[in-house]
């Protein structure tokens, strides 16, 4: 009798965020990721609707990395009876606690839906008690016929692709694939022998600037803002993007490439996560490890001020311009950056620099698309500040990078399922794979189940 595996696309289709995939294989029910949908408010119904499966029946949850759109719904899974095992790389386990606690802090302010009963300290503690960390390439034996490995995705610290080997067939979930080369992380591993591929498509329809260009654009943006005596606001994701920016700014400051001015890291979560980064230096690439051996304060430099307390954040306004403020959240959906945007966006001397993906409907996307007035914390804010977007800081592979990634394993591929992208991006990449590589590629809809011959 032919062996099969069944994949159900429970989340992460037609959307960049909300990754959640159910793999039924060799008598086991396995999840890959259980994330929040972003771009909407964390407390919106879409994140707290019932799961399309019974959490009590899930044996194992594999987490590809520590962004909340891949792990943010785990406490809900726990709350509804999941008591299986949670597997990830060691750095992802280390980063999970501050990420989940930050989400709990946000939800504690939204009592209308009772979400504070889901995101509790007890549920987070139980989550971590079920969690096991593994090294890249460490064999994880699930059944006699099923083994699993984590491969380096190069997206953020500890990010992984998950490779299932069953009856000789290889199924790979990419998670998010890194925009290599990274200043901190090793490159995404090449894959050459995969049968079935479930892959992301955030930038499936467009390409980034080069790494050299992005640093040049950053330098020019800082200099232009300095000449206008303005404030440069950089909304940034607390995990990885903040650390990359600190790494880049450290190099610019050390080499006198930018004028001297105060630089504020105004994100308690980013400050906390940066400390976790320092615990996993052996996961950095060779250049970053070499730099760390010469400079123990790689994420700290003269002129940088880390503001943990809210009163310290408010005092930033009193610091004379020019200055730079790095704050979350990266899509301007919340966090301290919204208060800075409300204060600084109306002034044409200031600059807003977008360095990451902006989800459809998010304030960041609306600003990026040229809206003249944006609603922030209940107020309509007129946008007169300069707007700059640098896509080279994205943590995701661009369209050509995704094609090249698949090309390495095209000789063995039977099917590719394109997920974790907006519909236009996913469909563009799907057609690109068909046209350029002659591969069976599909962009499944949410709720679709596919049976794979193994």
Domain ranges of the chain: 4-206+395-453, 211-393
CB burial of residue 111 (10 Å; 0-12, 13-18, 19+): exposed
pLDDT band at 331 (very low <50, low <70, confident <90, very high): confident
Contacts of 308 (CB under 8 A, 6+ apart): 268, 271
Mean per-residue pLDDT for 159-186?
96
Would you say residue 329 has pLDDT above 80? yes
Mean per-residue pLDDT for 41-56?
81
In this structure, the number of other CB atoms found within 10 A of the CB of residue 434 comes to 14
Q: Residue 9: its pLDDT value, please?
A: 98
Would you say residue 96 has pLDDT above 60? yes
**Total residues found in the chain within this entry:** 454
d(CA 179, CA 402) in angstroms, rounded, equals 10
- Which residue is listed with tokens 């930050």? 102
Q: Residue 307: its pLDDT value, please?
A: 96
3-state secondary structure 147-194: EEEEEECCCCCCCEEEEEEECCEEEEECCCCCCCCCCCCCCCCCCCCC
- Which residue is listed with tokens 């998670």? 175
Would you say residue 42 has pLDDT above 60? no
Would you say residue 7 has pLDDT above 90? yes
Q: What percent of the chain shows pLDDT beyond 70?
A: 96
For 417, the token pair is: 């399922």
Q: Residue 39: its pLDDT value, please?
A: 65
Q: How far is CA 342 from the centre of its chain?
A: 25
Contacts of 75 (CB under 8 A, 6+ apart): 100, 104, 118, 119, 120, 123, 124, 127
Would you say residue 43 has pLDDT above 80? no
Q: Which of 276, 268, 357 is nearest to 307 (CA)?
A: 268
- Contact between 247 and 299 under an 8 Å Cβ cutoff? The reply is yes
CATH annotation of 211-393 = 3.40.50.10890
pLDDT band at 113 (very low <50, low <70, confident <90, very high): low
Q: What percent of the chain shows pLDDT beyond 90?
A: 77
pLDDT band at 130 (very low <50, low <70, confident <90, very high): very high
d(CA 204, CA 31) in angstroms, rounded, equals 24
Would you say residue 108 has pLDDT above 90? no
Q: Which of 273-287, 290-304, 404-418 has the highest mean pLDDT?
A: 404-418
pLDDT band at 120 (very low <50, low <70, confident <90, very high): confident
For 439, the token pair is: 């591969």
Q: What is the DSSP letter of 282?
A: G
pLDDT band at 47 (very low <50, low <70, confident <90, very high): confident
d(CA 134, CA 155) in angstroms, rounded, equals 17
Least confident of 42-56, 76-90, 391-405, 406-420: 42-56
Least confident of 41-45, 222-226, 262-266: 41-45
**Mean pLDDT score across all residues of the chain:** 93
Sheet order of strands, 85-89 included: 131-134, 85-89, 60-62, 28-32, 20-25, 4-11, 449-453
Q: Residue 297: its pLDDT value, please?
A: 67
d(CA 453, CA 4) in angstroms, rounded, equals 5
Would you say residue 260 has pLDDT above 60? yes
Q: Residue 44: its pLDDT value, please?
A: 66
Mean per-residue pLDDT for 353-382?
90
Helices (H), 40-109: 68-71, 74-79, 90-107
Q: How far is CA 274 from the centre of its chain?
A: 15
Q: Residue 105: its pLDDT value, please?
A: 84
Predicted model pTM: 0.92
Contacts of 275 (CB under 8 A, 6+ apart): none
Number of helices (H), then strands (E), in the chain? 13, 22
pLDDT band at 106 (very low <50, low <70, confident <90, very high): confident
For 269, the token pair is: 């979560």
Q: pLDDT for 287-313, tens place per residue? A: 989 888 876 666 888 899 999 999 999
Mean per-residue pLDDT for 433-446?
97
Would you say residue 71 has pLDDT above 90? yes
pLDDT band at 115 (very low <50, low <70, confident <90, very high): low
d(CA 49, CA 76) in angstroms, rounded, equals 10
Q: Provide the CATH topology of domain 4-206+395-453.
A: Metallo-beta-lactamase; Chain A (3.60.15)
Contacts of 296 (CB under 8 A, 6+ apart): none
Would you say residue 45 has pLDDT above 80? no
């Amino acid at each position: 009798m032919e062996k099969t595996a069944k994949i159900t696309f429970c989340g992460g289709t037609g959307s960049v965020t909300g990754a959640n995939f159910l793999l039924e294989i060799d008598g086991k029910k396995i999840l890959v990721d259980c994330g929040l949908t972003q771009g909407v408010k964390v407390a919106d119904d879409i994140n707290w609707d019932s799961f399309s499966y019974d959490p009590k029946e899930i044996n194992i949850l594999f987490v590809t990395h520590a962004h909340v759109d891949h792990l943010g719904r785990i406490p809900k899974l726990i709350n509804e009876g999941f008591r299986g095992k949670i597997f990830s790389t060691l750095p992802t386990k280390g980063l999970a606690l501050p990420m989940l606690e930050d989400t709990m802090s946000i939800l504690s302010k939204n009592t209308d839906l009772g979400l504070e009963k889901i995101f509790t300290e007890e549920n987070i503690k139980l989550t971590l008690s079920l969690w096991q960390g593994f090294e890249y390439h460490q064999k994880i034996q699930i059944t006699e016929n099923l083994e699993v490995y984590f491969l380096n995705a190069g997206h953020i610290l500890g990010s992984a692709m998950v490779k299932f080997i069953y009856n000789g067939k290889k199924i790979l979930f990419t998670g998010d694939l890194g925009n290599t080369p990274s200043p901190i992380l090793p490159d995404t591993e090449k894959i050459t022998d995969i049968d079935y591929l479930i892959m992301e498509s955030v930038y499936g329809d467009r390409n980034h600037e080069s790494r050299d260009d992005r640093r040049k654009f950053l330098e020019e943006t800082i200099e232009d803002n300095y000449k206008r005596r303005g404030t440069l606001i950089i909304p940034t994701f607390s995990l990885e993007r903040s650390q990359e920016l600190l790494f880049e700014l450290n190099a610019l400051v050390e080499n006198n490439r930018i004028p001297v001015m105060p630089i504020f890291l105004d994100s308690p979560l980013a400050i906390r996560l940066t400390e976790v980064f320092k615990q996993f230096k052996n996961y950095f690439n060779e250049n970053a490890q070499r730099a760390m051996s010469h400079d123990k304060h790689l994420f700290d430099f003269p002129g940088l001020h880390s503001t943990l307390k809210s009163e310290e954040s408010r005092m930033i306004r009193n610091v004379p311009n020019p200055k730079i403020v790095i704050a979350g959240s990266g899509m301007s959906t919340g966090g301290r950056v919204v208060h800075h945007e409300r204060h600084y966006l109306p002034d044409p001397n200031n600059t807003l620099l977008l360095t990451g993906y902006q989800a459809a409907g998010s304030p960041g996307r609306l600003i990026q698309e040229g809206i003249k007035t944006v609603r922030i914390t209940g107020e309509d804010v007129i946008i007169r500040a300069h707007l700059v977007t640098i896509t080279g800081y994205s943590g995701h592979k661009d369209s050509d990078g995704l094609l090249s990634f698949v090309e390495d394993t095209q000789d063995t591929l039977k099917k590719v399922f394109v997920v974790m992208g907006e519909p236009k991006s996913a469909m563009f990449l799907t057609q690109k794979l068909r046209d350029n590589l002659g591969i069976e590629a599909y962009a499944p809809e949410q709720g679709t189940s596919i049976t794979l011959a193994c």
